Amino acid sequence: MTLSVDQVLTRGVAEVLPKKETLAKLMSERKIRLYLGIDPTGAHLTLGHAVQLRKLQQFADLGHEVILLIGNGTVRIGDPTGKDSTRPMLTDEEIKANFEDWKRQAEKVLDFSTIEIKYNGDWLDALTYADMVKLMANVTVQQLMERDMFQDRLKAGKPIHGHEIMYPLLQGYDSVAMEVDLELGGTDQTFNMLMGRTLLRQYKQKEKWVIANPIINGTDGRKMSKSYGNYIALDEAPNEMFGKIMSMKDAEMLTYFEIFTTEDLADAAALIKSSPRDAKVKLAKHIVTWLHSAADAESAYQDFVTKFVKHEVPTDMPAFSVGGSSIGILDLITKTCGFAASNGEARRIVEQGGVSLDGEKIEDPKAEVVLSSESQVLKVGKRKFASVTS
RNA sequence: GGGUAGUUAGCGAAGUGGCCAAACGCAUCUGACUGUAAAUCAGACGACUCCGUCUUCGGGGGUUCGAAUCCCUCACUGCCCA
């Protein structure tokens, strides 16, 4: 579905700088050129990334000239946002492989036939010493240090490496090199994106707009992050995705509705209030349909009801054959099914009463289970099921 | 260049010769409750052939019956002075 210009500039957008109205006017007069920059590190894409990608695609759908920029030049520094660890150097082959993987995940959200791909290494690697001096002369150290995360690190006594303060300049130079009208990014990129605005004006006397998209919280209401384990990956299986959305905090729902659906927000808010569970089911179906299919969404819903509402055994589950008539329970969990990372972990789950076979609880870690050609259902924890046979 | 403080498990952070596989918080896992929400309660959370053994406290080397803790050395970082 193609949204109107006003919807694209409003819904799921945190900020349009310097002004929404002037950008809307430009978009009505001609096709604009815009871009989103991505890191070529081996990222596992989440709904957090999808916020950006979805917005990018909306511009493509409106027929604008959309560029996806691979940061194979800026990756030498690594955006200092968040982490302070030094990035490893990536070879061209690794970058290519990473992008292929990235593309596979992003295909669910982006239509690559409508998007042009560029690499900023093409111009950044070509900068000479003189170019770098000229680039750096455009700003003061104080301006660079204004960035919130540098201030945070200063306060926390954390290191800021010399090359890191160049990141905004290099990202900003991308805007100069491509002469874009607009850049998209998360609100955490505002500083970098505005640097591009400054540089573009200084180098080419050209105006550039910036759209900052919201950073969504993870399912537990905190910042979506690997270390919290609260993210939803784009290549998540339908059932997992559905379950994760259902386990999200109620308070996060409305934002997700705003960003990932076209639902009327007043209606969504009313539904959340009257029946949070139904609202969540609706949201989960929406998102699974978007990233998988309507059929997957329906079957994920059914699976969810069976497993968690009725506490019954799901219909499909992985099947394992152990190649023998009996096996130690720990080996079965760890080696055969891969449900635990180590024997110790499996032992713990067993001792804590989290394991059952055909509904029969197994609490002795030394137990030998007898298997036949008839499949039995192994349950480990709340959500791991397997069908096991000899 | 001088001074000083630091580097501990996934993260943050205690511990300064044996009681340390290492407090505590977060994350994670299990059980109870439930809307796989929130809140809460109970427990686990290096590995293994698990009531015992083995490998961990920036790297390397020493001292000692015994070291995360003491010494030497290398690497990295913060802060102050210049």
The residue extents of the domains of chain A are 5-213, 226-309, 319-389
- Is residue A174 within 8 A of residue A120, CB to CB? The reply is yes
Architecture, CATH, for domain A319-389: Roll (3.10)
Is the pLDDT score of A35 beyond 90?
A: yes
* Of A20 and A226, more confident: A20
pLDDT digits (tens, 9 = 90+) for A181-204: 999 998 888 888 999 999 998 888
Share of chain A above pLDDT 90, in %: 9
Q: What pLDDT shows up at residue A229?
A: 67
Is the pLDDT score of A82 beyond 60?
A: no
Give the residue-averaged pLDDT of A149-168.
82
Mean pLDDT estimate for chain A: 83
Is the pLDDT score of A222 beyond 90?
A: no
Q: Which nucleotide's C1' is closest to A154 (Cα)? A: B78
Give the residue-averaged pLDDT of A34-60.
85
CB count within 10 Å of CB A355 equals: 27
Q: Where is average pLDDT lowest: A112-126, A303-317, A339-353? A: A303-317
**Is A226-309 a domain of CATH 1.10.240.10?**
yes
Give the residue-averaged pLDDT of A281-304.
86
Burial of A280 (0-12, 13-18, 19+ CB in 10 A): buried
pLDDT digits (tens, 9 = 90+) for A314-334: 777 788 887 778 888 888 888
ipTM of the complex: 0.81
State the residue for tokens 């791991």. Answer: A384
- Is residue A378 within 8 A of residue A385, CB to CB? The reply is yes
Q: What pLDDT shows up at residue A175?
A: 92
Share of chain A above pLDDT 70, in %: 94
Which residues neighbour strand B (beta carbon < 7 Å)?
A 154, 157-161, 220, 227-230, 239-240, 242-244, 246-250, 276-277, 280, 304, 307-309, 330, 341-345, 347-349, 352-354, 380-384
pLDDT digits (tens, 9 = 90+) for A332-359: 888 887 888 888 888 888 888 888 888 7
DSSP tag of A209: E
Q: What pLDDT shows up at residue A85?
A: 44
Tokens of A295: 């059929």
Is the pLDDT score of A226 beyond 80?
A: no
- CA separation, residue A209 to residues A27, A151, A197, A283 (Å): 11, 25, 7, 32
**A91-127 CB burial, b ≥16 within 10 A, e <16:** eeebbeebbeebeebbeebbeeeebeebbbbebbeeb
Give the residue-averaged pLDDT of A304-323.
77
Note the CA–C1' distance, A233 to B67, in angstroms. Answer: 45
CATH of domain A5-213: 3.40.50.620
* Of A1 and A155, more confident: A155
Residues A357 and A366: their CA atoms lie apart, in Å, by 15
User: Phi and psi dihedrals of A50, rounded to 5?
Assistant: -60, -25
Give the residue-averaged pLDDT of A111-122.
89
Q: What pLDDT shows up at residue A156?
A: 77
Give the residue-averaged pLDDT of A224-249.
78
SS3 A206: coil
- Is residue A144 within 8 A of residue A168, CB to CB? The reply is yes
Q: What pLDDT shows up at residue A178?
A: 93
- Is residue A189 within 8 A of residue A212, CB to CB? The reply is yes
- Is residue A262 within 8 A of residue A1, CB to CB? The reply is yes
For A312, left (φ over 0), alpha (ψ -120 to 50), or beta?
Answer: beta
Note the CA–C1' distance, A346 to B21, in angstroms. Answer: 19
State which amino acid sits at residue A99. F
Nucleotides of B under 7 A from a protein CB: 10-11, 26-31, 35-38, 43-50, 77-79
Where does the pLDDT of residue A227 fall: very low under 50, low under 70, confident under 90, or very high at 90 and above? low
Residues A297 and A290: their CA atoms lie apart, in Å, by 9
- Is residue A196 within 8 A of residue A175, CB to CB? The reply is yes
- Is residue A65 within 8 A of residue A34, CB to CB? The reply is yes
Residues A197 and A205: their CA atoms lie apart, in Å, by 10
Residues A385 and A317: their CA atoms lie apart, in Å, by 6
- Is residue A70 within 8 A of residue A95, CB to CB? The reply is yes
- Is residue A73 within 8 A of residue A16, CB to CB? The reply is no
pLDDT digits (tens, 9 = 90+) for A266-291: 888 888 787 888 888 888 888 988 88
Note the CA–C1' distance, A148 to B14, in angstroms. Answer: 30
Contacts of A343 (CB under 8 A, 6+ apart): A330, A334
Q: What pLDDT shows up at residue A274?
A: 79
Tokens of A122: 């093409």
